[in-house]
């Protein structure tokens, strides 16, 4: 096991009706909040009214910025930064999913910076300060509600890039599984795929003697797999929605990566796809992850055998370990298909036109991934495998 420091300060408030305490929680960080949200799902569900009422009850002044798109854009982030500076905002409240939360985080670091906020995303500036962020989560998926990361798309050049810093972890996150009842099944499935991928990125490590985190990863994966069909077939099943919502946070709050080095190649390879084609991140991962697995499994067949056996209950064939490993990959792919995810680029009408460009952009600052470092040619081959 590697040495590690684990610190995740986000206060998680979980359960039915918990969004009603948002005013109290937000007031703790000041009396002027930027209320940030997406394209309107929160108005349709009534959550917007609940949040506004709760903030007003606590005397919190609201400045609003809605309109965050999935794959959030830097242009809106810049608008948010300007609002924060103009109104001397104390904190940002993100009501929505990963896109809204990531946009809020980018605004929060930009609010204390004199240059252009994109500087953080292309490595020209380091995070030193960040406005406090609160979250009311509406979709379990990205895990951004407790993570220190933000992923933003720059329309200029179709770059989708990430920044991460402990200071960017939200101060509090309200998780009410009931708020996810209104999710369309496709978004639910994309969320499930994303959280599974967050665990797999951590699971495929070169670190030995990480039994506890291996088993925590496997338990979380199994829980997600066991509940995925239920949340899709019965969107108002509280028990299943609750398991999925908490699993989505656990998948990405960094407890599962303690003492081990994760891979993250598949995420970077996917970000190039959603950067250019604007597909949903989870759907992109359902396509890229199995292709990545097929490309790298020979690097550590035993780890893939363990995955096949413990997560997918594949019987180990001691005479043919590769066969067992491949069966685990096949099961992963079949599971993604079974919840309605695409597993090839052609299913989302993406051809090979931009493969070379995406592979080049992905590796322009060096090889990607830690399990097996991938160079431009490898990334290109993975896009080919995902065709
Ligand atoms: O915009 P609205 O109208 O709210 O609709 C959203 C959006 O269209 C809708 N939605 C959300 N909650 C809903 C709902 N519709 C009905 N009922 C509800 N309760 O769902 C759509 C997708 O929302 P989005 O926020 O984009 O989803 P998600 O949480 O999957 O976030 C995806 C983004 O997170 C990034 C991804 O790259 C992507 O840009 N990620 C962020 C990470 C992080 N910060 O740590 C890690 C992840 O790996 C990921 O890269
Ligand atoms: Zn992800």
CA distance 67 to 222: 35
Atom of ligand 1 nearest to the CA of 190: 30
Determine which helix (DSSP H) or strand (DSSP E) holds 136, and give its type and residue range: strand 133-137
Residue carrying structure tokens 């009842």: 181
How much distance in Å is there from the Cα of 218 to the middle of ligand 1? 24
Number of other residues whose CB lies within 10 A of the CB of residue 35: 22
Question: CB–CB of 182/44 below 8 Å?
Answer: yes
Identify whether the C-beta of residue 117 lies closer than 8 Å to the C-beta of residue 142: no
pLDDT of residue 157: 87
The whole-angstrom separation of Cα 282 and Cα 284 is 5
| Candidate from 97, 144, 193 with most ligand 1 atoms within 8 A of CB, to mutate | 97
Burial of 32 (0-12, 13-18, 19+ CB in 10 A): middle
Atom of ligand 1 nearest to the CA of 143: 45
Q: Encoding tokens for residue 12?
A: 């998680």
* Spatial contact of 104 and 133, defined as CB atoms under 8 Å apart: yes
Gap from CA of 118 to ligand 2 centroid (Å): 20
Ligand 2 center–CA 267 separation, angstroms: 6
Question: What lines the ligand 1 site, CB under 6 Å?
Answer: 38-42, 70-71, 96-100, 102, 138-139, 141-144, 147, 149-151, 179-180, 182-183, 187, 190-191, 194, 252, 267, 281-282
What does each of the 387 residues of the chain score in pLDDT, given as a tens digit? 999 999 999 999 999 999 999 999 999 999 999 999 999 999 999 999 999 999 999 999 999 999 999 999 999 999 999 999 999 999 999 999 999 999 999 999 999 999 999 999 999 999 999 999 999 999 999 999 999 999 999 999 889 999 999 999 999 999 999 999 999 999 999 999 999 999 999 999 999 999 999 999 999 999 999 999 999 999 999 999 999 999 999 999 999 999 999 999 999 999 999 999 999 999 999 999 999 999 999 999 999 999 999 999 999 999 999 999 999 999 999 999 999 999 999 999 999 999 999 999 999 999 999 999 999 999 999 999 999
Q: Which ligand is nearest to the CA of 143?
A: 1
* Non-local CB neighbours of 46 within 8 Å, separated by 6+ positions: none
Atom of ligand 1 nearest to the CA of 187: 20
Report d(CA 376, CA 384) in Å as an integer. Answer: 12
In a mutational test of the pocket of ligand 1, which residue from 142, 197, 241 has the highest number of ligand atoms less than 8 Å from its CB? 142
DSSP state letters, 73-117: BHHHHHHHHHHHHHHT--EEEEEESHHHHHHHHHHHHHTT-SS-T
What is the Å distance from ligand 2's center to 229 Cα?
A: 20
CA-closest residue to ligand 1 atom 41:
142
Residue 14, pLDDT score = 98
CA of 30 to the centre of ligand 2 (A): 31
Topology annotation, domain 11-179:
Rossmann fold (3.40.50)
Domain 183-385, classified CATH 2.60.40.420, yes or no: no
3-class secondary-structure state, position 220: helix
Please give the Cα distance from 137 to 335 (Å, whole number): 26
How far, in Å, is the centroid of ligand 1 from the Cα of 209? 35
Read off the pLDDT of residues 248-268 as tens digits, 9 standing for 90 and up.
Answer: 999 999 999 999 999 999 999
Distances in Å between the alpha carbon of 215 and those of 212, 222, 253, 256, 291?
A: 5, 10, 16, 9, 24
**What is the layout of strands, in order, in the sheet containing 133-137?**
11-14, 172-175, 133-137, 91-96, 32-37, 61-65
Q: Report CA 305 to chain centroid distance, whole Å.
A: 26
Ligand 1 center to 119 CA (angstroms): 23
CA–centroid distance, 263 to ligand 1, in Å, is 22
DSSP string, 281-315: HHHHHHHHHHHHHHHHGGGGHHHHHHHHHHHH-PP
Question: What are the residue boundaries of the structural domains of the chain, listed by start?
Answer: 11-179, 183-385
Give me the residues near ligand 2 (ion), CB cutoff below 5 Å.
Answer: 194
Going by alpha carbons, the residue nearest to atom 45 of ligand 1 is 144
pLDDT in the model for residue 265: 98
Which residue puts its alpha carbon closest to atom 8 of ligand 1? 70
Nearest to 200 by CA among 187, 209, 185, 213: 213
Which atom of ligand 1 sits closest to the CA of residue 282? 30
Return the pLDDT at 318. 98
Instruction: Kindly list the distances between the CA atom of residue 136 and the CA atoms of 97, 296, 387, in Å, as whole numbers in the listed order.
Output: 8, 38, 37
d(CA 153, CA 293): 26
37 φ/ψ angles, rounded to the nearest 5 degrees: -155, 180
pLDDT, tens digit, for every residue of 118-135? 999 999 999 999 999 999
């Amino acid at each position: 096991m590697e040495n590690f420091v684990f610190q995740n300060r986000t206060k998680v408030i979980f359960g039915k009706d918990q969004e009603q305490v948002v005013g109290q929680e937000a007031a703790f960080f000041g009396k002027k909040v930027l209320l940030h949200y997406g394209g309107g799902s929160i108005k349709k569900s009534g959550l917007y009214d609940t949040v506004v009422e709760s903030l007003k009850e606590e005397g919190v002044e609201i400045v609003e910025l809605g309109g965050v798109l999935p794959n959030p854009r830097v242009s809106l982030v810049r608008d948010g930064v300007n609002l924060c500076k103009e109104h001397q905002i104390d904190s940002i409240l993100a009501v929505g999913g990963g896109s809204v939360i990531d946009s809020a985080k980018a605004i929060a670091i930009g609010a204390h910076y004199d240059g252009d906020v994109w500087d953080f995303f292309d490595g020209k500036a380091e995070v030193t300060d960040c406005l406090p962020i609160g979250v009311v989560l509406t979709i379990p998926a990205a895990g951004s509600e407790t993570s220190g990361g933000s992923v933003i798309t720059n329309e200029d050049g179709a770059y989708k890039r990430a920044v991460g810093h402990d200071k960017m972890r939200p101060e509090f996150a309200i998780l009410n599984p009931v708020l996810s009842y209104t999710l369309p099944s496709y978004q639910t499935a994309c969320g499930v795929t994303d959280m599974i991928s967050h665990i797999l990125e951590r699971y495929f490590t070169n670190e030995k003697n990480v039994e506890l985190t291996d088993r925590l990863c496997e338990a979380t994966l199994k829980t997600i797999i066991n509940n995925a069909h239920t949340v899709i077939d019965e969107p108002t099943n509280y028990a299943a929605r609750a398991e999925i919502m908490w699993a989505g946070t656990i998948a990405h709050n960094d407890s599962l990566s303690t003492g081990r080095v994760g891979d993250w190649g598949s995420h970077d390879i996917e970000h190039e796809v959603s950067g250019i084609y604007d597909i949903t991140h989870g759907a992109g991962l359902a396509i890229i992850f199995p292709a990545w697995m097929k490309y790298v499994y020979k690097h550590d067949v035993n780890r893939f055998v363990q995955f096949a056996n413990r997560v997918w209950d594949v019987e180990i064939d001691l005479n043919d370990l590769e066969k067992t490993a491949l069966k685990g990959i096949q099961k992963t792919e079949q599971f993604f298909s079974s919840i309605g995810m695409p597993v090839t680029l052609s299913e989302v009408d993406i051809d090979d036109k931009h493969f070379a460009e995406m592979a080049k952009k992905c590796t322009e600052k060096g090889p990607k991934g830690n399990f097996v470092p991938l160079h431009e040619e490898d990334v290109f081959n993975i896009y080919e495998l995902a065709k």
